[in-house]
């Protein structure tokens, strides 16, 4: 009979790699069935869940630390767009048998770095062996003053449409990694490739802008499935239309270079997703104050169009409305 | 160019199968990036996450409705053991390409049935296609009066150890389904097999007992990884020892019949897990009141041993301490 394992290998693994991340007192160092969270008084909790699967949301040879950080940041991005302050997160990790401790150590290190940077400690988790692929599912919890979560459904005709950061970088990187002929054709200089790679591996959720979004936006959502499709969801939810001036959609130098060489990539830029920027609407009167807040926070924001009565989103280039095969990334 | 899909297939799928379950007003009919939850005043939130993967936690041909219900019930069981009242849950579902809508419809129907029965509505979710296997990850949120979550780490020497329901049924079912020779040898009558199958497919989380656990237990946890290992965790967390009288561990008729034919199965019964019962400790003075509450709730509870000073859990049979190869199920 084998030696008694009073402490199972699963417990040891959790203790070694995940317990150090559970800095929230309500996480009980992951030593209980559940975590507690005493909600900040006068606040609503904001809950979101998003995950990644190898081969779908990341390339299996992506660095483990960035896989972890991206999975957390996808959720932080939802909280940012809703004007919420992160309180903590729970994680479910499924690991194939071949995964080495080294991989897990790097994964946990990346996760811990971001948990600290975004003040979003680990509250609880679930680790499983899977006969399938690496999968990570995260649920993040945030707080907003009661009744103040920024919705998708509250945009008004006449509002300006704004977006943070730049659009399309991550989607271009995915395209380039899958299409070597295209990569050869574009021959982007290495610093530009590095920029796209970084934008794909490490989204920059705009949590520093959460308070400003809550103070000024009439509606907001995070851009994860593509600007075109996500804005369509926002407009549908708000029963309004929008017109976007494609020339004003903010692009990185790398994206501009890619588009100059291959104009058809515009569809990838506008519908590919994985941006983790915020698209928001606000009354024109709020524009100066929001702009000032964004500048203070160090986040670029760009006005790209207007909300109007009606339905549908039109992306206008030289006065012509673009048509897309698909507005956004869909898993089904 | 394909027709514009203003509404993606993913959105349609969510709208058809999951939106009807999102009865909580803060779920916004799954039409936003996040859900809100206004915490009951004077309460702590209790958060737990647990999931299932095909081939690990369920057999791929298990009925989809029971897979869904089991995944939710695993989380409800954690809330019950912590003395918490369910408020809602978030779900992440990964579906291989081959899954038919029929499967998904049954899955959602089962989930909805339990969400209603346990008053635990869907708050939000995430659906993905996976090149791997079906996987479901759930995060459940509950509430307890502030500071009143029942911990694992607060058992005291002199306390009684109790367990709800019966132990070992689900683990026996898994064993029988994997070992046809054993099944042949045991030849359990069909009603007994049906009982084990039902206990495996549909755990019965003891949420009706949550208030009584909170009122009377000194410590509690749910039995999911095996009574022996889970009780060892509780004792380690509480820095106490326990002695369990194996003859008093509550068994179903089916489990008794299996053990009579194959005494070696006792280890499976005590360490196999998947029970989703509650193991708890309480001072002897609380025994009558807790017993009465359990009777009112219609849940069998059985005293199986005592907590003492020291460390380790001893399972005594005829005065001899049993030894096990493994105290509990471990994924690693």
Per-residue model confidence (pLDDT) at position A3: 33
Nearest CA in chain A to B91: A49
| Shortest Cα distance, chain B CAs vs residue A128, angstroms | 6
| Shortest Cα distance, chain B CAs vs residue A179, angstroms | 20
The answer for A244, left when phi > 0, alpha when psi is -120 to 50, beta otherwise, is: beta
Residue A31 and residue B81: Cβ atoms within 8 Å?
Answer: no
Give the strand order in the sheet containing A277-282: A219-223, A277-282, A160-164, A301-308, A241-245, A312-317, A320-321
User: How many Å is the Cα radius of gyration of chain B?
Assistant: 21
HSE (CB half, 13 Å, CA atoms) of B327?
Answer: 22
Count of H-run helices and E-run strands, chain A: 11, 12
pLDDT tens for B81-90 read 999 999 999 9
Across the interface, of A8, A141, A327, the residue whose CB is closest to B5 is: A327
Q: What does pLDDT average to over chain A?
A: 93
Per-residue model confidence (pLDDT) at position B325: 80
Per-residue model confidence (pLDDT) at position B128: 86
Across the interface, of B47, B94, B127, the residue whose CB is closest to A123 is: B47
Q: Enumerate residues 6+ apart whose C-beta is below 8 A from A324.
A: A228, A267, A270, A271, A315, B4
A302 and chain B in contact, CB less than 8 A: no
Sign of CA dihedral B147, A141, B90, A92: negative
| Shortest Cα distance, chain B CAs vs residue A217, angstroms | 15
- The percentage of chain A sitting over the pLDDT mark of 90, rounded to a whole number, equals 84
Is it the case that residue A158 has pLDDT exceeding 80? yes
Residues from chain B that touch A73, judged by Cβ atoms under 8 A, are: none
Residues from chain B that touch A236, judged by Cβ atoms under 8 A, are: 6-7
Across the interface, of A133, A142, A232, the residue whose CB is closest to B6 is: A232
Model confidence band, residue A7 (pLDDT cutoffs 50, 70, 90) = low
Residue A84 and residue B34: Cβ atoms within 8 Å?
Answer: yes
Residue A128 and residue B221: Cβ atoms within 8 Å?
Answer: no
Across the interface, of B56, B131, B151, the residue whose CB is closest to A56 is: B131
A2 and chain B in contact, CB less than 8 A: yes
Residues from chain B that touch A312, judged by Cβ atoms under 8 A, are: 6
E strand intervals along chain A: 35-37, 43-53, 85-95, 122-129, 135-145, 160-164, 219-223, 241-245, 277-282, 301-308, 312-317, 320-321
Mean pLDDT of A302-311: 98
Is it the case that residue A9 has pLDDT exceeding 90? no
Q: Residue A213: which H helix or E strand, with range?
A: helix A210-216
| Shortest Cα distance, chain B CAs vs residue A248, angstroms | 22
Residue B8 and residue A327: Cβ atoms within 8 Å?
Answer: yes
Residues from chain A that touch B237, judged by Cβ atoms under 8 A, are: 31-32
| Shortest Cα distance, chain B CAs vs residue A192, angstroms | 30
Residue A6 and residue B236: Cβ atoms within 8 Å?
Answer: yes
What b/e sequence results for B99-113 when a residue is b if at least 16 CB atoms lie within 10 Å of its CB, and e otherwise?
A: beeebbebbbbbbbe
Q: Which of the residues in chain B have pLDDT under 70?
A: 1-7, 329-332
Nearest CA in chain B to A5: B326
| Shortest Cα distance, chain B CAs vs residue A138, angstroms | 9
Q: Which of B7, B26, B28, B32 should be substituted to probe chain A, the one whose Cβ sees the most A Cβ atoms within 10 Å?
A: B32
pLDDT tens for B168-193 read 999 999 999 999 999 999 999 999 99
Distance of CA A88 to the CA centre of its chain: 16
Instruction: Name all domains of chain A by residue range, CATH numbers in brackets.
Output: 9-145 (3.30.1330.10), 160-321 (3.90.650.10)
Across the interface, of A36, A48, A137, the residue whose CB is closest to B45 is: A36
Q: Are B243 and B249 in contact (CB under 8 A)?
A: no
Nearest CA in chain B to A313: B6
Residue A53 and residue B94: Cβ atoms within 8 Å?
Answer: yes
Query: With the CA atoms of A106, A110, A112 and A116 taken in that order, what torsion angle do they form, in degrees rounded to the nearest 10?
Result: 160
Q: Which of A9, A31, A43, A49 should be substituted to probe chain B, the one whose Cβ sees the most B Cβ atoms within 10 Å?
A: A49
> pTM score > 0.90 for this model?
yes
| Shortest Cα distance, chain A CAs vs residue B198, angstroms | 24
- The percentage of chain B sitting over the pLDDT mark of 90, rounded to a whole number, equals 84
pLDDT tens for A207-251 read 999 999 999 999 999 999 999 999 999 999 999 999 999 999 999
Residue A6 and residue B327: Cβ atoms within 8 Å?
Answer: yes
Is it the case that residue A326 has pLDDT exceeding 80? no
B235 strand-pairing partners: none
Length of chain A as a residue count: 332
Quote ipTM for the complex: 0.92
């Amino acid at each position: 009979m084998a030696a008694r394992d009073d402490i199972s290998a699963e417990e040891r693994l959790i203790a070694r790699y995940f317990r150090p991340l559970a800095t929230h007192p309500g996480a009980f160092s992951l030593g209980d069935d559940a975590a507690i969270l005493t909600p900040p008084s006068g606040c609503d909790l904001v809950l979101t869940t998003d995950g990644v699967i190898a081969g779908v949301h990341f390339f299996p040879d992506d660095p483990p630390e960035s896989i972890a950080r991206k999975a957390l940041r996808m959720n932080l991005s939802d909280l940012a767009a809703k004007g919420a302050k992160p309180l903590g997160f729970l994680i479910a990790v499924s690991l194939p048998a071949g995964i080495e401790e080294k991989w897990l150590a790097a994964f946990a290190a990346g996760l811990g770095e971001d948990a600290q940077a975004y003040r979003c400690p680990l509250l609880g988790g679930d680790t499983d062996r899977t006969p399938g692929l690496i999968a990570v599912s995260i649920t993040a919890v945030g707080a907003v003053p009661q009744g103040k979560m920024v919705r998708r459904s509250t945009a008004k005709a006449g509002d300006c449409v704004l977006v943070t950061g730049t659009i399309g970088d991550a989607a271009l990187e995915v395209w380039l990694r899958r299409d070597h002929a295209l990569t050869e054709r574009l021959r982007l200089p290495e610093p530009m490739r590095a920029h796209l790679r970084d934008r794909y591996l490490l989204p920059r959720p705009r949590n520093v802008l959460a308070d400003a979004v809550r103070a000024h936006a009439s509606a907001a959502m995070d851009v994860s499935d593509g600007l075109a499709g996500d804005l369509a969801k926002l407009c549908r939810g708000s029963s309004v239309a929008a017109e976007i001036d494609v020339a004003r959609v903010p692009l990185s130098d790398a994206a501009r270079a890619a588009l100059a060489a291959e104009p058809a990539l515009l569809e990838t830029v506008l519908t590919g997703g994985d941006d983790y920027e915020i698209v928001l609407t606000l009354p024109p009167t709020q524009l100066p104050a929001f702009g000032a807040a964004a500048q203070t926070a160090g986040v670029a924001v760009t006005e790209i169009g207007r909300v109007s009565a009606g339905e549908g989103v039109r992306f206008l280039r030289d006065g012509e409305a673009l048509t897309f095969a698909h507005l956004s990334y869909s898993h089904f």
